[in-house]
Amino acid sequence: MSNSVHSAVPSIAPSSRTMAGMHPSAKLLLFLLAGSLALIFQDPRYLAGVALLHLLLVSRIGWTRSLFRTFLILGGISSVFTAVSWLLFVRAGNAYWEGTIPWIGYAIQITETGILWSIGMGLRIATLVMLSVFYLFTTSPREMAMALKGIGLPFSIGFLISLIFRFIPLVKNDLATIREAQMVRGVRWDRGSLFTKLKAYAALIIPLIFTSLKRVQLIANALDSKGFQIRNRKHRYYRMPRWKGQEIAWIVISACLVGLCLYLARLSPNMYGILIPTRI
Number of Cβ atoms within 10 Å of the Cβ of 104: 6
User: What is the pLDDT, as a whole number, of residue 149?
Assistant: 83
User: What is the pLDDT, as a whole number, of residue 12?
Assistant: 44
Burial category of 174 from C-beta neighbours within 10 Å (exposed 0-12, middle 13-18, buried 19 and up): middle
Task: Name the percent of the chain lying above pLDDT 70.
Answer: 89
* Three-class SS state of 215: helix
Task: Assess contact for 147 and 19: CB atoms under 8 A.
Answer: no
For residues 141-151, average pLDDT? 85
Assess whether pLDDT exceeds 60 at residue 4: no
Residue 106's beta-bridge partner residues?
A: 101
Task: Name the percent of the chain lying above pLDDT 90.
Answer: 22
pLDDT digits (tens, 9 = 90+) for 28-85: 999 999 999 999 999 998 999 999 988 888 887 777 787 888 888 888 999 999 999 8
For residues 197-201, average pLDDT? 78
**Best CA proximity match to 119, nearest among 77, 87, 74:** 87
Assess whether pLDDT exceeds 50 at residue 140: yes
Task: Assess contact for 11 and 229: CB atoms under 8 A.
Answer: no
User: What is the pLDDT, as a whole number, of residue 14?
Assistant: 44
pLDDT digits (tens, 9 = 90+) for 239-262: 777 888 898 999 999 999 999 999
User: What is the pLDDT, as a whole number, of residue 13?
Assistant: 46
Report the Cα 265 to chain-centroid distance in Å. 26
For residues 109-136, average pLDDT? 91
User: What is the pLDDT, as a whole number, of residue 165?
Assistant: 81
Q: Is 28 left (phi over 0), alpha (psi -120 to 50) or beta?
A: alpha
Sign for the pseudo-dihedral over CA of 42, 45, 48, 50: negative
Residue 101's beta-bridge partner residues?
A: 106
pLDDT band of residue 125 (cuts 50, 70, 90) is very high
For residues 111-123, average pLDDT? 92
